[in-house]
Structure 1
Amino acid sequence: MKSNYKWLVAGVAMSLFVATGCGEQAVTPSASTTAKTSANATSSVTNDTTNTSGDNASNAAASNGVNGTGQTSNADQNATTSSSDNTTSSGSSSSSVDYVSYTNPRFGFSLSVPAAYQKGQTPADGDGQGWSTNNNSMTVRAFAQYNVEHTTVKSMAASLTANEQVTYQQSGSNWCVVSGYQGSNIVYQKVYVGRTNLYELQIQYPKSEQSQYGGVTSAIANSFQPGSLT
């Protein structure tokens, strides 16, 4: 009986030892497992940081108008290379000047002129209109006519430069601009050349008053729009 009791006690003790050992193995990871887990976590953080940095760089490039090749976007290129037909007169800003719009009822061209300018007598045939300052220092004239001689942009530009000391000249597919001196005056001329009609803007003022009228001339010239060019 005592012998059986000893064996029973020994069996219980062995069972407890085995159970305790298995429990420790179940809850405690090995050193190699811990290292692998740490490495994976670090790799994940690194990948996330790299991806985030790449996204931020792409977003910054997009907001600055730069494409993936580091070149300026097409929109910016178009904006910086667009041609201008502004007069070379670099006078004061015309932002403080009030303008009124005019549309020719016969030919349909339009422009804006300072509201303070005096409107001249309208021609009987209604082909255009003229304006001037109170002292006639600056004159503006816009008119149209039929293109009966089949004038081209090239031939029109040549005609405009014939009697003028040219300081600026520019042209496009259906327009040309010439600016220069006639005696003591600055003369600016812009013409739209259509198959049927010609539309012309003429501005003149003294050289000595370029600082006063240069900006106004630019504003008027930019507002000048033709009627039909067909």
Structure 2
Amino acid sequence: MTKRNLWVFAGVISLSTVVLVGCSSKTNAAAGNGTTNKQGNANGTTTNQKNAKTQQTQNTTKSNSPTPYTVYKNKRFGFTVRIPTTYKKSPPPQDGDGASWTSSNAVKITAYGQYNVQNDTVASAFSKLVTKNHPSYKIEGKDWLVVSGINQSNQIYYTKMYIGKSKEYVLKILYPKSQKSQDASLVTAVANSFQPGPIQPADSYSTYTNQAYHFSLKYPSKWTQGPTPANGSGRLFYVSTNHSSFSNMASSLGLPAHDAVIQVVGTHNPTNVTYASVKNRPSGQGIVSYKVSKVSNGYEIQETQKKGNGLWYTIQLFNKNYFNTLTVIIPSNSGYYKGIAQSVIQSYTLTP
């Protein structure tokens, strides 16, 4: 596809002028539209982390149903999961990477760890699973993903993965579609209890520094870099999200409407923008948050807007000489891309 009009919107964005289981000011900017279910829970609600940890320290516990559970901890990879005590454990694999259990009514649970030999990130693993399985439910967070659907054997499948730089942790549950209502609470309890072993961020970042306009930021190394403008004012980075189309200025950028976008553009400060002139929140629909603060070497404007299914983060750094704009556009329902936005925004600085 030919990329066109790649620098159209730099000045326009600113200041508004199946069972479904799935601290700085800059951190707040990337969290501007609420939170995504951190653990990909079966019931679509956020797990109380403290309670989850308490449950995992017990050898045997109970869910809201009478079903008793026991905690399995994998010695090799360090992950834990709660399994109904009535389930039969299959002979463990020789390499000790995990275990499988089956019930008398054909529910199968498999949990294992593996090394991330393909250097997957949440985004790449998510893309592979979505392309292969065509799930009816899919969601991803900062270091996890969940897909669920019905396979060709008319069974409900549920897969939850934690993706780290060197290790991955996988939980799979398979059960007959006819037992959906019967097994829903059990699947929820097992899925919510699954906790990874040690995990390091899988995404790597590269640094872009613009010496002409004195700013710097980090961007995901695997994202595609767009053409560099002739005047050297900034950069464009983008990646396919495997989400449905959302508002991302696709018509102006020449990109697909499901791509996440990072664009940073440097300009001089010809109108002498000052703190006093921008400190008040502008009027306009879709503004989630707006804040102006003093930062090193200048001031920072943070604005978050909700546009359709897209979240737009606009961060502007300025002083008496420069007025530089970072725009990050992501699907609004993705915890994973919110984490990416947070990392990019935190790294964005004015340089001396």
TM-score interval, smaller chain = 0.5 to 0.7
Cα deviation, residue 181, structure 1:
0.9
Change beyond 3 A, Cα 1:82–1:224: closer
Aligned to 1:85: 40
Determine if the alignment matches structure 1 residue 166 to structure 2 residue 135. Answer: yes
Q: CA offset at residue 134 of structure 1? A: 2.3
Give the corresponding residue for 1:119: 89
**Alpha-carbon distance between aligned partners in 2 of 1:179 and 1:87, rounded to the nearest angstrom:** 10
Q: Which amino acid aligns with 1:197?
A: K
* Contact 1:165/1:182 (8 A) holds in 2: no
Secondary structure of the 1:162 match is helix
1:157 deviates by 1.1
Counterpart CA distance in 2 for 1:80 and 1:198 is 24
Out of 110, 126, 148, the residue aligned to residue 141 of structure 1 is: 110
Q: Offset of 1:189 from its aligned partner?
A: 0.3
**1:178 aligned onto 2:147:** yes
Deviations 1:152-171 (A, max 9, x none): 10111122223324221111
Tell me, yes or no, if the aligned pair for 2:39 and 2:144 is still in contact at 8 Å. no
Deviations 1:4-41 (Å, cap 9, x if unpaired)? Answer: xxxxxxxxxxxxxxxxxxxxxxxxxxxxxxxxxxxxxx
- RMSD (Å), alpha carbons: 2.3
8 A contact 2:90–2:100 mirrored in 1 = yes
Instruction: Name the CA distance, whole Å, in 2 between partners of 1:193 and 1:223.
Output: 17
CA contact (8 A) 1:88 1:168 kept: no
- Corresponding residue pairs, total: 149
Deviation at 1:109?
A: 0.3
1:102 to 66, 72, 81: 72
Alignment of 1:6-85 (within 5 A): 83=38, 85=40
Q: Which runs of 5+ in 2 are unaligned?
A: 1-33, 45-62, 201-352
* Cα contact 1:87–1:168 (8 A) shared by 2: no
The structure 2 residue matched to 1:157, chosen from 126, 131, 137, is 126
2: CA distance, partners of 1:188 / 1:221: 9
Answer yes or no: is the 8 Å Cα contact 2:36–2:141 preserved in 1. Answer: no
CA separation in 1, counterparts of 2:143 and 2:155? 27
Is contact 1:87-1:217 (8 Å) kept?
A: yes
SS in 2 for 1:87: coil
Stretches (4+) displaced over 6 A: none
2: CA distance between counterparts of 1:229 and 1:145?
Answer: 12
Gaps of 5+ in 1: 1-78
Q: Contact (CA 8 Å) 1:87, 1:188: kept in 2 or not?
A: no
SS in 1 for 2:186: helix
Compute the TM-score of the two structures, normalised by the length of structure 2. 0.40
3-state SS in 2 of match to 1:141? strand
After TM superposition, the structure 1 = structure 2 runs for residues 208-227 of structure 1, keeping only pairs within 5 Å, are: 208-227=178-197
Query: 2: distance between equivalents of 1:191 and 1:145?
Result: 11
Asked which structure has the greater CA Rg, the reply is: 1
Bigger fraction of residues in strand: 2
C-alpha displacement of 1:126: 0.2
TM-score (structure 1 length as normaliser): 0.60
Match of 1:54 in 2: none
CA distance in 2, matches of 1:165, 1:217: 20
**CA 1:162 to 1:81, structure 2 compared with 1: closer, same or farther past 3 Å?**
closer
